[in-house]
Amino acid sequence: MRKIQILDTTLRDGTQGENISFSASEKLMIAKKLDQTGFDYIEGGWPGSNPKDKEFFKKAKKIKLKKAKITAFGSTRRKNILAKEDFNLAEIVKSGASAAAIFGKTWDLHVQKVMNNSLKENLLMIEDSIRFLKKTGMEVIYDAEHFFDGFKANPSYALKTLHSAVKGGSKMLVLCDTNGGALNNEINRIIKRTINEFKGFKNIKFGIHAHNDGALAVANSLSAVRAGVSMVHGTINGYGERCGNADLTAVIPNLELKMDYNCIGKNNLKKLKEISDFVSELANQVPQNNRPFVGKSAFAHKGGIHVSAILKERKAYEHLRPQLVGNKRRVIVSDLSGKSNIEYKAKELGVKLKDDQESQIIARRIKKLENKGYQFDSAEGSLKLLLDSYKNKKVRVFDLESFRVTVEKDKEKPCVAHAIVKIAVKGKREITAAEGDGPVSALDNAIRKALDKFFPKISSMRLVDFKVRVIDGKLGTGAKVRVLIESRDSGKIWTTIGVSDDIIEASWQALADSFYYYLKSKKK
């Protein structure tokens, strides 16, 4: 089983993506997580470019990693100076990183028209820079920027730049599809031609650094490995400039589970979903549900025929076991559901159904509700309550008698909302009033105030997300709306739903279900 080294550049190339930013401390947290997941190299940033990256490398010196090598990034020296006089190269050495990844120009267009440089001086810049860093004892990974575009334009010169890197002492030549426009067959052909160029050299290895502008970064990375490279660059979740980089949460499992290469090891594969979610959280990005392998929907099944099949044979609609990458199967209940979905979901939620007839009745009921605008695939809290109601279980721990909400706007002040709620718990009536920043906030505060007298632990539950969707925008302000509320306590997160022509009533339905769910779960 051939070893493929993985260099993660989330902390450098990933942060060049729009709206992606990490503090030095967050970078350190991610670096530790990457090391625990078995990555070989962690590109921490460009120490000569900004104070944040310099701070990261300073902090990174104080941590002990199990396996990964912290790698500093930078460019070759400036033209017409000595490498030892170059500020950026000096900063790479000062960073204390054990490895350096430096890029040089491969495409004659960039050398002559962008840099206003000569082709000969560019070759000297590559060789001198690598030799300078090698003399300090650093491992040097050479990134041949725009290699595939450069090769297509002038293959002889593109190969000369790699020879300069080898003369300088680099043993790892990474071929970069910097513009992300190369096709799969081009990647394969050019890499094979390039590797053949160096077949007489000892210990020279190749890598791939692919961008996703043609939606081929993952495919191109896999193709490059088949062509003979032994290092893959990429980022967690594919974050990166423009359309992003090769997504390592897809590259790694494909290499390990489908192509029989060794990257981070089978045990570490189980941590992929965890690290994907971890990086999303620190990047303040909503995780993409449809992300392959690690997304919430990667192993979700909605159609009744699909669910019926996977209950008999997993391989029918799953290309691998979700547990291998730390994910899990999800069965979604919706208007497309059959009784198989209901039976699977009921078992998962701990509800025992009598027979097939009962599951068919529930399926029909859900389809009718979804026709009115409900979506139970995104509101499992309300689904659990619905299933319980069919089992003659008391869902409503309290009963609403009425509520009233008013909104007051003063010319000089922001809106203030007031709510009055009348509820009954075990025959006892409670009337409470509360204010809030908006009508839903006021309702939430009022119901909490009322319930607190009967259920003191209600304060440990809180609302964490509130979403409103217009179901049919053609009706304008008279359109029916769907409200989804996500709530949590110290150990669990659940989502509930409400649908109505009135946004306040829909919000009340979702709020009430959220409290019902919490109070029922605490009874157990």
334 CB neighbour count, 10 Å cutoff:
18
Q: Domains of the chain, with CATH numbers?
A: 5-282 (3.20.20.70), 300-371 (no CATH), 399-523 (3.30.160.270)
Calculate mean pLDDT across residues 16-41.
Answer: 95
Average pLDDT, the chain: 89
| Confidence check: pLDDT of 130 > 70 | yes
Q: Which long-range contacts (CB under 8 A, 24 or more apart) does 505-512 make?
A: 506/468, 506/481, 506/482, 507/439, 507/440, 507/443, 507/466, 507/483, 508/400, 508/403, 508/443, 509/483, 510/382, 510/483, 510/484, 510/485, 511/440, 511/443, 511/444, 511/447, 511/463, 511/485, 512/400, 512/447
Residue 30 has pLDDT above 80, yes or no: yes
457-470: average pLDDT: 84
Kindly tell me if the per-residue pLDDT of 456 is higher than 60: yes
Q: Tell me: pLDDT of 391 over 70.
A: no
* Local confidence band at 471 (pLDDT 50, 70, 90 cut-offs): confident
Mean pLDDT of 396-416: 85
Q: What's the average model confidence in pLDDT over 393-401? A: 78
pLDDT confidence of residue 392: 63
Q: pLDDT tens across 62-99, in order?
A: 999 999 999 999 999 999 999 999 999 999 999 999 99
User: Average pLDDT, stretch 116-132?
Assistant: 97
Say whether pLDDT at 523 is over 70: no
For residue 334, name the pLDDT band (cuts at 50, 70, 90).
low
What's the confidence (pLDDT) of residue 494?
Answer: 87
Task: Look at 258-262, 292-296, 343-347, 499-503 and tell me which has the smallest mean pLDDT.
Answer: 343-347
- Residue 129: both structure tokens together: 């820079």
The pLDDT of residue 105: 97
DSSP state of 287: P
* Torsion angle, alpha carbons of 277, 278, 280, 286, to 10: 50
> Given a cut of 90, is residue 291 above it in pLDDT?
yes
- The side-by-side arrangement of strands in the sheet containing 416-425 is 399-408, 416-425, 428-436
In the prediction, which pLDDT does 284 show?
A: 83
Residue 336 has pLDDT above 60, yes or no: no
For the stretch 421-436, pLDDT in tens is 999 988 889 999 999 8
Average pLDDT over residues 438-457: 89
- pLDDT reading at 449 higher than 80: yes
Give pLDDT tens digits for 200-232: 899 999 999 999 999 999 999 999 999 999 999
Residue 263 has pLDDT above 70, yes or no: yes
Task: Read off the pTM.
Answer: 0.75
- Between the alpha carbon of residue 507 and those of residues 37, 369, 416, 517, 519, the distances in Å are 42, 17, 17, 15, 18
